[in-house]
Structure 1
Amino acid sequence: MLFLKNKAKTLDIADYTVILPSICVGNAAQLACDLLIASKKLQRIGSLFHPCLIPVYGPSAYQHEPEERVASCELYTSVEDKLLVIQFRAPLIARHTNDFQKQLVELLQPARRVIILSGSFGFERRIMEDSPWAYRASDNFKEAHAAQLGNASLVKWKEHTGEHIFGGGNALQLFKAFDQLKVPVMLLFRYLLEGDNSTDASLIVRELNELCEDFLQLRNGGDGKFKLTVPKSWNLLFGNEVTELLF
């Protein structure tokens, strides 16, 4: 399942924070991970292969690594920040999902903490005045981050207690699998709609930074402004332009 560029057989993430997107409505979580990888200039260290992953292969998605190639599931890290971001570029094949999920959770079990990003259909937010943000956190995650989760600025997050996240992919199943193995884990998602979700992606990263600014460090130290880098792959986010030869 694991293929690392340095040919190592194991993934050393004992002190790492792992950010993991769920393939969700509008691909908002994947787009958020794109912004993290491009903004932090994370380095690709390898790939994951499994029958669950539809094979894809293509050119680099990021301007800071122009010679790299991308596949269905890529691993990007920052050694300095002890950060690992996993990126999916293809949907999952349903009949193999359970086995893939089991192997993925076992692979990431040594991590210090895991943060799952996702989205849910906007019409599932039954009360319009409610927050567009919801989260789920394991008890050990809440204990480790009591100050951040109790911060007044995060009151807008609503704690999710249901058994479903409609449009959220396998986010809730992943959360429960990590929690069962006692891995500190949090699931953060936003209610949104299909379409151009690049704005939602940037909002997800901004919210995540409020909790995890200690290792994301996406603010400029001089002026304090929030800085994101848009990856070059977004130039064709909705495909090529229509050729004039059609008219």
Structure 2
Amino acid sequence: MNTFVPSPGFDASRFKGTTLILPSVSIGNVPQLATDLLLTTLKLDRVGCIEDENVIPVLGPADRPHDATASPQSSSSLSTGGLSLAVEVFQSKDGKWTIIQQRSPTVRHRSHHYADNLLQFIRESEFDQVVLLASADGARRIDTQLRSGTPVRYILSPAVPTTLIETLKGLGLEPLESVPTTADQRREDLMRLQEHHSTPTLRLSDNVEGMELDNVTTTNQPLEKVPRIPSGGIARRLHSLCQEQGIAILTVVKFAMEGDNAPDAIFLANVLNAIFKVYVPTQQQTLDGEGWKMPKSWDSLYGNSYHQDMYQ
């Protein structure tokens, strides 16, 4: 299980009724980078962290230094110093948005446990709705997706409000297509289920179509209702779990490939902002041309810049 550890002075009951935004560690780390943009631009307060044995523990300098000029009585005093942890929780000052940032991957073969624990955290916190950011392998797109005018797709649970559905349609966004599974993917699913369950017996026949999984007939059924997200991390499982529990969840998927994924992150953040208006700049900020603020960590995200004289 995971444990939410609140920052001094924060009451976890303040999660109730807010919108949770969180990333799934996916190809190119696009969701995490988009979350970085949200945290830096909105200057959210860290209100705690999540301790989970299924996530690799990390510790490093905070991307956004603690505001030493803030008074002890201010909400920024909830921030717990100048260190970043594996899974941190932030909240906007108006209490409208709660954001989870995951800075390290899950332990090998333990991601399903992490997704299960996140579901428990989501249920106990009573969020109004959940927005899950994910990226999918752009090299595995089907023809329809390649011909599409936008590299973004979404998945909705039945519990989402009608107004959100109308907003998505108004923006011209398309739902993620369900692609028939290949023989290799079916074999991979069955092998993964074997890893997740120690007691059931997995029987693979020579004919892949005839694969059977003894004693585990219901584990994978919820996943069948959610389209595949290639290289999407826990996104498909977490969405499935929330959907089965009647939780309103929207998963936004950006097609991407490994490389410099900063532009992908900005695109995903722009799509999220178009849907929910998370960041509404002031008139002066608009006049000054201010947009997303990039965190300090991005300065060395892809190494030092090369000297132009090298190519002359």
TM-score (norm: length of structure 2) = 0.70
Distance 1:123 1:117, change over 3 A: same
Counting aligned pairs with the same residue, the percent is 25
Distance in 2, Cα, partners of 1:51 & 1:8: 23
Partner deviation per Cα, 1:151-193 (whole Å, 9 max, x = no partner) = 1xx2243434353211111101111111111111000011111
Q: Is the Cα–Cα contact under 8 Å of residues 124 and 191 in structure 1 kept in the other structure? A: no
Partner deviation per Cα, 1:66-125 (whole Å, 9 max, x = no partner) = 842101101111030511110111110134333322221121121001000011111122
Amino acid at match of 2:249: V
Q: Note the aligned Cα RMSD (angstroms).
A: 2.3
Whether 2:90 is the aligned partner of 1:73: answer no
Distance in 2, Cα, partners of 1:235 & 1:181: 41
Distance in 2, Cα, partners of 1:226 & 1:141: 32
Amino acid at match of 1:75: V
Which residue does the alignment assign to 2:228? 164
Q: Is the Cα–Cα contact under 8 Å of residues 35 and 230 in structure 1 kept in the other structure? A: yes
Distance in 2, Cα, partners of 1:177 & 1:217: 29
Which residue does the alignment assign to 2:238? 174
Counterpart of 2:159 (choices 140, 165, 171) is 140
Q: Is the Cα–Cα contact under 8 Å of residues 41 and 64 in structure 1 kept in the other structure? A: no
Which residue does the alignment assign to 2:300? 236
Which residue does the alignment assign to 2:99? 85
Q: Is the Cα–Cα contact under 8 Å of residues 133 and 156 in structure 1 kept in the other structure? A: yes
Distance in 2, Cα, partners of 1:94 & 1:181: 26
Which is worse superposed, 39-48 or 66-75? 66-75
Q: Is the Cα–Cα contact under 8 Å of residues 134 and 189 in structure 1 kept in the other structure? A: yes
**What pairs up with 1:90-105 in 2 under 5 angstroms?**
90-105=104-119
Amino acid at match of 1:189: V
- Superposition deviation, residue 209 in structure 1: 0.8
Counterpart of 1:126 (choices 127, 138, 142) is 142
SS state at 2:34 partner: helix
Aligned length: 238
Q: Is the Cα–Cα contact under 8 Å of residues 21 and 118 in structure 1 kept in the other structure? A: yes
Distance 1:184 1:78, change over 3 A: same
Tell me, which stretches of 5 or more residues in structure 2 are unaligned? 69-80, 180-226, 307-312
| Structure whose CA Rg is larger | 2
- Superposition deviation, residue 9 in structure 1: 7.5
